Structure 1
Amino acid sequence: MSDNPSSPPPGEPINANWERETLEKLLFATVKEQRAARRWSIFFKLLTLGVIIFALWAYFDFSTGTDIEALGRHTALIEINGSIESEGSGSADNVIPSLNKAFSDAGSAAIVLRINSPGGSPVQAGMIVDEIVRLRKGYPNKPLYVVVDEICASGGYYIAAAADKIYVNKASIVGSIGVLMDGFGFTGTMEKLGVERRLLTAGENKGFLDPFSPQSDKHKAHAQAMINEIHQQFISVVRTGRGKRLKETPDMFSGLFWSGAKAIEMGLADGYGSVDSVAREVVKVEDIVDYTAHEGLPERVLKKFGAAVGAGAVKSVYHGARPALR
């Protein structure tokens, strides 16, 4: 026996332990990797939990902590910027609570609705108009004025027409009193490519305006009748809101739009003005308080998660074109 304990036994190769050493190294590496994976998993779980907690905190904190009281007499401002859609500053869910808060506040002398919108959903616009009409009846001493920014067209003007007065810049774009329903047809392209459309429906009209099927005269007539009906609703809102101020022409309800200067001549608007000038010269209360519902980061993050989950379901239920005021 050798006196050196580290030396191999007689006749045994010097590298006889390499297999065991290699296995030990692999085992230690695997354990280390598993520990790192667990740490990252815990990190992302804690991060997700933190985002959810922050979102809930922000929601309850900001939604309950925005009461505007004891500010004295002021002009209430609400902004609609962008398309009139189910989300964003032009949605009924955002505009209506702001309108209610502005009208009900004891310190608000008047409400100024600043609009910069090319139009959008007739449903959202109609809901906002109905609420404006209700609030104006409930608060007859609080006027509502609209100030047009760059553009107030179609669905934007649908809302503006319900105001007491509309103020514009001479270069603003105003009008577009019409309705459209757009889409695409791919039948010719499919024939050239040799692609066959296989559509099964339960209900003879379930494939209404399917872009991959030929357009039928029946469906086209039905769609046209529907948008004509919505157009008449739009015209009725404008005539009711503007009254005798309108100087109707054959083109007024054709979908055309005009400059702010021309809109005043036609009775679609009442004069020139900005938010500041209306507050100062019309309302005669220069202090302006913004009642616009501004969406925070936590709400946007949560909506992204919801949109990702719901988009597929919505598309599977509804694939046709929708009427739009734009």
Structure 2
Amino acid sequence: MAEGNNWEREVLEKLVMASLKEQRKTRGWNVFFRFLGFGFVFLVFAAAMGWVGGKADDGMSDVIGHGSHTAVVELNGEIGPNTRASADIVNEGLRNAFKDKRTKGVILRVNSPGGSAVQAGQIYEEIRRLRAKYPNIPIYTVVDDMCASGGYYAAVATDKIFVDRASLIGSIGVLMNGFGFTGTMEKLGIERRLLTAGKNKGFLDPFSPLSSDQQAYAKQMLEQIHQQFIASVKLGRGKRLQETSDTFSGLIWNGEQGVKMGLADGFGSVDYVARDVIKAEELVDFTPKENWADRFAKGIGASAASQLPLSKTGISIQ
């Protein structure tokens, strides 16, 4: 009877030990898969932040090789301080492109309707500074669909401008836009109560009547900025510009007309300019890339901005 009990005890102990081993093995695999999952999430996050792979956040090229290349910097979309076509982003890409030892020439690839006069002017000035600092590296503008207003302001700082025959180019003018709600408020019986210290502190307030004095002052200010724009175009284009009464009127032209008027120098794509003008067919994009943190911050900022009241009228070159 004792021998039977011993046998049963031994079997039971073996079953318990086997069960414990299986549980340990299962826990081990669980830990392994947890670490594996954590590692995968970390790699995805690191890639989004630009810590691994691709191009570094500073826009510098990591292309392997010893030959020369053509650097490309994108100026795409509306030019403004919080856009991908801001002066901070475009100028960072341009600086990195020029200082790379393999860069034989730079292409500013433009597809923009314009935007902030200040931001466009900062890009213009930075291009001129870089051209003076690196006299042996040419910079050309290549226009995709549109290079208008503020986009053209930046482009005239480059050595030459290449367009497609159907590209839109020009719009050398300045505007200040907004809305007036006084008529609507009267119909709804809403009274505007604006208190200011300084008679012009409520300048161009959309909920107050537009005074003739403020309108005249705004037009004078726009004319001054327009003259700054015109001076920059004349300096950049020089004798190539075939000036007419419409050149600085704010009109826009197609690429074929633009070449005839001296607003552009010829027809060509990015590949054409790299291959046949710069003579360095390899293209390297130096446009700073937007990482996950930037997109997240921008989303938060856009959400917060949507809760703010209407902003005052701004000045745009577009």
Task: Report TM bin, short chain.
Answer: 0.7 to 0.9
Tell me the secondary structure at the aligned position of residue 250 of structure 1.
Answer: coil
Specify the alignment match of 2:84 in structure 1. Answer: 89
Deviations 1:255-286 (CA, angstroms, capped at 9, x unpaired)? 00101000000000000000000011100110
Give the total of aligned pairs: 273
Residues 64/289 of structure 1: CA separation in 2 closer, same or farther (3 Å cut): closer
Tell me the distance in 1 between the aligned counterparts of 2:78 and 2:110.
Answer: 10
Which residue of 46, 55, 58 maps to 2:49?
58
Matches within 5 A, 1:9-88: 54=45, 58=49, 62-63=56-57, 66-68=60-62, 71=65, 72-88=67-83
8 Å Cα contact 2:60/2:97 also seen in 1:
no
- Mapped to 2, the partners of 1:75 and 1:101 lie a distance apart of 12
| Counterpart Cα distance in 1 of 2:217 and 2:148 | 26
8 A contact 1:89–1:294 mirrored in 2:
no
1:209 to 194, 197, 204: 204
Runs of 4+ in 1 over 3 A off after TM superposition: 53-57, 59-62, 64-71, 306-312
Q: Does 1:325 align with 2:317?
A: yes
CA distance in 1, matches of 2:293, 2:154: 29
**Structure-1 separation of matches of 2:195 and 2:299:** 32
Q: 1:64 to 1:165 in 2, by over 3 A?
A: closer
Cα distance in structure 2, aligned partners of 1:289 and 1:226: 41
Aligned CA distance change for structure 1 residues 55 and 299 (closer, same or farther; 3 Å): farther
Return the alpha-carbon distance in structure 1 between the equivalents of residues 48 and 84 of structure 2: 22
Matches within 5 A, 1:1-326: 54=45, 58=49, 62-63=56-57, 66-68=60-62, 71=65, 72-309=67-304, 319-326=311-318
TM-aligned CA deviation for residue 324 of structure 1 = 0.6
| More divergent stretch after superposition (56-65 vs 119-128) | 56-65
Secondary structure of the structure 2 residue equivalent to 1:240: helix
- Does the aligned pair in 2 maintain the 1:70–1:107 contact within 8 Å? no
- The farther-off stretch of 102-111 and 217-226 is 217-226
Q: Which amino acid aligns with 1:321?
A: T
RMSD between aligned residues: 2.2
The answer to whether the Cα contact below 8 Å between 1:179 and 1:227 also exists between their aligned partners in 2 is yes
Q: Secondary structure at the match of 2:174?
A: coil
- TM-score normalised to the size of structure 1? 0.78
Instruction: Look up the SS of the partner of 1:276 in the other structure.
Output: helix
Q: Which amino acid is 1:68 matched to?
A: D
Amino acid at match of 1:257: I
